Amino acid sequence: FGVDYRIAPRETKVETYTWTVPDTVAPGPLTIRATLYYQLLVRPVAQFLKVPESESMDRIINTDVATIDVIY
């Protein structure tokens, strides 16, 4: 039904992301927000088993906010 990307109990995963800040972003502080979701069931399995949306919806596990200074 799909690849298992779950994080096991007590397991830590570090992900690194890079991107280019568009030239249209004004100089000054830029706030970046990240949200980690937990998915109880992968969608194809939930649909196949006809699990109600309320029992299979994604749940927010953690969030973080970082602010950087954009300088051109």
pTM over 0.95: no
| Cβ contact 70:21 at 8 Å | yes
Write out the chain's pLDDT in tens, 72 residues: 677 777 888 998 888 889 899 999 999 999 999 999 988 888 888 899 999 988 888 999 999 999 999 998
- CA 68, 26, 15, 55 torsion: positive or negative? positive
Structure tokens at 51: 């699990």
* pLDDT at residue number 1: 61
